[in-house]
Structure 1
Amino acid sequence: MLDVLRNSWALLLGMLLLMVGNGLQGSLLGVRGAEAGFDSITMSVVMSGYFAGFLVASRMVPGMIRRVGHVRVFAALGSFISAALILFPAFKDPIAWTMGRVVLGFCFCGVYVTAESWLNNATTNETRGQTLSAYMIVQMVGIIASQALLVVPDVSGFLLFVIPSVLVSISFAPILLSISPTPAFDSTKPMTLRQLYDVSPLGMVGMFLMGGVFAAQFGMAAVFGTQAGLSLGQISIFVASFYVGAVILQYPLGWLSDRMDRRSLIMMVAATGAAAAVVAILTGGMFWALVGAAFVIGGCSNPLYSLLIAYTTDFLEPDDMASASAGLLFINGLGAIAGPLIIGYVMQVVGPSGFFMLIAALMSALALYALYRMTQRPSIPVEDTGSYAPINPGATPVAMEVAQEYAIEVAEGEEGSDSVH
């Protein structure tokens, strides 16, 4: 791990600052939207704009990088992020905010793709797994740290929009000043949705459902907190709890996934997340019950993302893993766009509890579908499954392919070890 930090500290520091800026703007808009009088449906449209921009960028940015290069794309998109963050408080209009979120989603995806390409280029076969883990931890720590900034005074002014803009601008310095020669960039054509469904119905359906759950966490948690009457300090703790749970439970669940039937684990984890959401509803909005529920839901939903990818790749040849991952990323993006829209409507109809009601419904649907799929196809022996690689929801195609390369290398290493013995 020390070698990873020594070789990639600038990239990891830059990504940390980027995630602080990105995490803060999502929560801040949820709070400021309530102050501006925007209802749940309006805020759901605003929040879904980020995921729409992210999905479009995942298809367009690779072509941009091939045409003009990593450095120009990185610098141009970073400039747009800083400008968009500053403009939010100047235009208290839902259409302007939605367009701004689309721009942010597009630009952040492009910046992540570029940075992850450099990060992948800096790794070796021996350090790829550690680098992937360090990258995931940095992302989560950045989002958690960003929530503490919500309690900075003058939440109704410009300051909290200036802070993420400055952090994003600063984040480019360590990356651009320390970058080695730019890597070659190849994009992978995804499988068709039909092909992907034939390979792994559970993987495809599960990724769509988890897209909705992740979008709820990242896009609507602060909106829920505002409508539930939480203070700014309580909202920051509540939102951060999702990501603290993700960091703490990612590796224990990953360890289990390499030692038991993954469909059973997916079913149990999804059912646990659904139960936590139900508890949050039944406790009537007690703050620490909400925090506990958020911790469990985040600790279940984020590992489920990696679990579903690992389960799907168990049925693939190594040459097909990258294209399947791109398809999974696309279907997850569709779920992420739909998630805030549905949650916003439900919250408008039944009140703030609709936030947890939809999370409970989505995770229950995944648990039940996993149980159904267990009756349709025999399980793969544990010794024949691939290795679990931690991936955060919202991963770009590059991060997905890095994870698949790591899984392939581990599998090949295990095969070589078995042949020696």
Structure 2
Amino acid sequence: MLNVLRQSWALLLGMGLLMVGNGLQGSLLGVRGPAAGFSALEMSMVMSAYFVGFLFASRMVPEMLRRVGHVRVFAALGSFVSAVLILFPAFQDPIAWTFGRMVIGFSFCGLYVTAESWLNNSATNETRGKALSLYMIVQMVGIIAAQALLVIPDPSGFLLFVIPSVLVSIAFAPILLSVSPTPAFASTKPMDLRALYRTSPLGCVGLFLLGGVFAAQFGMSAVYGSAAGLSLQQISIFVASFYVGALVLQYPLGWLSDRMDRRRLVTGCAALGGSAALLAALTGGPFNLLLAAAFVIGGCSNPLYSLLIAYTNDFLDHEDMASASAGLLFINGVGAIAGPLIIGWAMQTVGPQGYFLLIAALLLAMTGYALYRMTQRRAPASQDTGAFAALTPAATAVAVEAVQEYAHDKAEQEREE
């Protein structure tokens, strides 16, 4: 682990700062938008735009990297992020914010693709698993730390927008000054979606539903907090609780997934998360209950992302995993775009509790579909399954493919032993 830190500390530090900046801007917009008079539906459009940009970038950035190189792409997209963050308080209009969030989503996806390709290039077969685990932990810790900045006094209304802009700008220094800008990069075309669905119906449906759940956590949690009348400090703790749960439960659930039918674990996680959301929706609080619900929802839904990808890979040949992962990320991205829009409509229709009602509906629908699929197909034999590897829903295809390669190699080694 120390050897990995020595090799990748600059990249991990830079990514940590980027995640703090990204986590802060998402929550900040969720608080400032309602304060500026934006409706829940307007805020849902703003939040959904991030995932529209993210989805476009996942297809366009690889070509940009091949044409102009990693350093130029990284610097250009980072400059866009810093500029848009400063412009948000100057143009308090839902249309302007929607366009800005789309640019932010596009740019952050490009930054992640670039950084993940650097990280994968610098790791060896022996260190790749540890490097990817550290990267995922840094992502989660960065988002959690960002919520603490939300309570900094901001009399002028500009300071909290300046802070993430500065953090993103500073993040470039350790990365660009320390990392070799020459990793090989090749984009992967998604597998035909009909073929992917035939291979793993549960993986496709589950990741589509999970996209909406993840978008609710990352995009709409602060909007819910504002609508529910939580204080700024309570909103910051509430949003952080989703990611603390993810950080705490990711690896224990991953350990279980290598030792039991993954569909049972998917069913259990989805049912537990859906039940917690339903309880929060029906009771409406108190605050400690909201925190517990957020912890359980985050702790169950984030590992589900890794579980569903690992389960799908159990039915794929190794050479098909990369194209399948690109297709799964596309499906998840479509769900993430739709999620905030539906939740915004629900909150506008039935009130703040619509936030948890939609999360409950998505996770309980996944529970029902997973139970149905268990009646349609036998579980793969344990010797035919790959190893679980932790992923966050913010990971791009580069990280997913690297994790798949690591998990495949690990499973092969275990079979030989």
Q: Contact (CA 8 Å) 1:32, 1:156: kept in 2 or not?
A: no
Q: CA deviation at 1:278?
A: 1.3
Gaps of 5+ in 2: none
TM-score (norm 2): 0.99
* Cross-structure match for 2:385: 385
* Cross-structure match for 2:43: 43
1:23-65, Cα deviation, whole Å (9 max, x unpaired)? 0000000110011101100000000000000000000000000
C-alpha distance in structure 2 between counterparts of 1:280 and 1:411, whole Å = 40
Q: CA deviation at 1:413?
A: 1.3
1:96-126, Cα deviation, whole Å (9 max, x unpaired)? 0000000000000001000000000010111
Q: CA deviation at 1:355?
A: 0.3
Summarize the alignment of residues 118-267 of structure 1 with structure 2, pairs less than 5 Å apart: 118-154=118-154, 157-267=157-267
TM-score (norm 1): 0.98
Q: Name which of structure 1's ranges 93-102 and 279-288 shifts more when overlaid on structure 2.
A: 279-288
Match of 2:10, as an amino acid? Answer: A
Match of 2:105, as an amino acid? Answer: G
* Cross-structure match for 1:334: 334
Q: For residue 151 of structure 1, give the secondary structure of its aligned residue in structure 2.
A: coil
Change (3 A) 1:155 1:206: farther
* Cross-structure match for 1:345: 345
* Cross-structure match for 1:24: 24
Q: Runs ≥4 in structure 1, deviation > 6 angstroms? A: none
Match of 2:59, as an amino acid? Answer: R
C-alpha distance in structure 2 between counterparts of 1:187 and 1:404, whole Å = 15
Q: Contact (CA 8 Å) 2:210, 2:332: kept in 1 or not?
A: yes
C-alpha distance in structure 2 between counterparts of 1:155 and 1:211, whole Å = 36
Match of 1:52, as an amino acid? Answer: V
Q: CA deviation at 1:385?
A: 1.1
C-alpha distance in structure 2 between counterparts of 1:126 and 1:79, whole Å = 35
Q: Contact (CA 8 Å) 1:151, 1:233: kept in 2 or not?
A: yes
Q: Contact (CA 8 Å) 2:46, 2:101: kept in 1 or not?
A: yes
Change (3 A) 1:121 1:314: same
Match of 2:199, as an amino acid? Answer: V
Q: Contact (CA 8 Å) 2:47, 2:220: kept in 1 or not?
A: yes
Q: Contact (CA 8 Å) 1:310, 1:387: kept in 2 or not?
A: yes
Q: Name which of structure 1's ranges 374-383 and 3-12 shifts more when overlaid on structure 2.
A: 374-383
* RMSD after superposition: 0.8
C-alpha distance in structure 2 between counterparts of 1:356 and 1:219, whole Å = 14
Change (3 A) 1:218 1:67: same
Match of 2:141, as an amino acid? Answer: V
C-alpha distance in structure 2 between counterparts of 1:415 and 1:258, whole Å = 13
Q: Contact (CA 8 Å) 2:242, 2:294: kept in 1 or not?
A: yes
Q: Contact (CA 8 Å) 1:56, 1:106: kept in 2 or not?
A: yes
1:265-301, Cα deviation, whole Å (9 max, x unpaired)? 1001000000100121232221010000000000000
* Cross-structure match for 2:318: 318
Q: Name which of structure 1's ranges 159-168 and 185-194 shifts more when overlaid on structure 2.
A: 185-194
Q: CA deviation at 1:394?
A: 2.0
* Cross-structure match for 2:401: 401
Gaps of 5+ in 1: none
Identity fraction in percent = 75
Q: For residue 38 of structure 1, give the secondary structure of its aligned residue in structure 2.
A: coil
Match of 1:293, as an amino acid? Answer: A
C-alpha distance in structure 1 between counterparts of 2:156 and 2:146, whole Å = 17
Q: CA deviation at 1:181?
A: 4.4
Match of 2:11, as an amino acid? Answer: L
Q: Name which of structure 1's ranges 223-232 and 390-399 shifts more when overlaid on structure 2.
A: 390-399
Q: Contact (CA 8 Å) 1:228, 1:285: kept in 2 or not?
A: no
C-alpha distance in structure 1 between counterparts of 2:360 and 2:156, whole Å = 33
1:65 equivalent to 2:61? Answer no
Q: Contact (CA 8 Å) 2:71, 2:181: kept in 1 or not?
A: no
